[in-house]
Amino acid sequence: MLFGLRCPACGMTTSWSWLTRGDLVASASANLSGMLLGLFVVLLLVLGFRLVWYGRSLSCRVNWWVGFGVVFIGVLSVAEWLVRLQFD
């Protein structure tokens, strides 16, 4: 905690820990955006392995969705942080 305020990533490590154990409910309750970020990273790993396996880059549509996912999770993380600040 900095200046007595929780940081936006508070609970994210716990969220990832629960996610690696397969407990989505506990992961989401620790930090929802952390759970989504963890699932997003798994998706990116699959896409990365596909890229290496086939040796071609992803289509523009997939690249657009990846960019959208990054922005969405970032906005959700800030929104979740603001809500937690109000009710903490």
Per residue in 20-65, pLDDT (tens digit) is 999 999 999 999 999 999 999 999 999 888 888 888 777 777 778 8
Please, which residues have CB within 8 angstroms of residue 76's CB and are 6 or more apart in sequence? 32, 33, 36
The total domain count for the chain is 1
2 domain residue, yes or no: no
Residue 19 sits in which domain range?
12-87
Average pLDDT on 55-82 reads: 86
21 domain residue, yes or no: yes
pLDDT at 79: 92
Reported pTM: 0.80
Report how far residue 6's alpha carbon sits from residue 54's, in angstroms, rounded to the nearest whole number: 44
